[in-house]
Amino acid sequence: MQCGTKKDAGISVLVCAKNEEKNLLTLIPKLLAQDYRQFEIILINDHSEDDTLQVMQDFAAQNSLITIIDLKTKTGKKFGITKGILHAQYEHLLFTDADCIPQSKHWISEMAAQFSNEKQIILGYSGYSKIANSWLNKVIRFETLLTAMQYFGYAENKNPYMGVGRNLAYTKTLFKKSKGFESHAHLKPGDDDLFVNQNASKTNVAVCTTLESFTRSEPKKNWKAWFIQKRRHTGVAHHYRSKHQLQLGAFYASQFLFFLLFVSLVAINQQLILILSVFVIREIMVWLITSKAAIKLQEKELIPYILILEPFLVSIQMLIFITNILIKPRRWN
């Protein structure tokens, strides 16, 4: 689906930040430079221990578009976002993170143009920056690419199941009507994917995949930090609707079983020509489909590595799944 650049109603951009003074110095000027007729920026300080609040205040003193919410009692992103939404003056809400940079001055207009009387949730794309000569970086970007292929594909086929809070929009009316994050307030994650999963319908979701609507974040730079992050994301999947748990479970299981059965059948030397033929056909299809998405989502550099990255990522995902079953996370940072 293509996105237009129609400038319509006002929109509130919300950013919840904790210890993000350096990232805000980059993000806030990008937000202020957006080419959109009517918008506000709501910055939420979640008990930062650095100069995050001071950075917010310095920008707010120079620009009336900025409103600051400094959390004093409860902590957490969900509480902060809820406070921000209640203070928002506009019906349309657009979310990103402090370490996430819009890739054009038309980010707001591209996302906002998708709202209509029917469309109340807008799913955008947020990739990660490239780091030269880093296998971890390729894995992170490839996993992000595959995830986007899934949630965009499901939404386009009227079966939306999640969104990514680094580039997500929805209406204030929907948030209030659904009672926000009330049903999963006890979980630290889920301000984006769980909210979408519980409130998306066949008709109220639109996707925005134009280049000017993209945002980009800095990725994790070590395996441990990324592994913890992925455990957190995977850990809330069992709160999705049952049909989505089954569909996603079947998808990941089919990937794992395909490679497992291929290796097993080759090892016992059974029907090698047939097995190799099926394997090659399947890999060609995966490469073609994923390459097309990589081009559209500005990840062309990953194309030569797709057939290596896929089985590697499948192995990592299985390890994360097993780890989450055996070891209850002590933290979700």
Alpha carbon 307 to chain centroid, angstroms: 23
C-beta of residue 227 within 8 angstroms of C-beta of residue 139: no
Mean pLDDT per 10-residue interval, the chain, length 333 residues: 53 97 98 97 96 98 97 90 97 97 98 97 97 97 97 97 97 96 88 96 97 96 92 86 95 94 90 94 98 97 98 93 75 41
Angle between helices 306-326 and 242-267 (to 10 degrees): 120
Give the number of other Cβ atoms within 10 Å of residue 177's Cβ: 11
The confidence score (pLDDT) of residue 327 equals 76
The confidence score (pLDDT) of residue 235 equals 80
C-alpha separations of 194 from 56, 198, 215, 249 in Å? 29, 6, 21, 17
pTM of the complete model: 0.91
The Cα–Cα gap between 219 and 195 comes to: 24
The confidence score (pLDDT) of residue 17 equals 96
The Cα–Cα gap between 197 and 262 comes to: 34
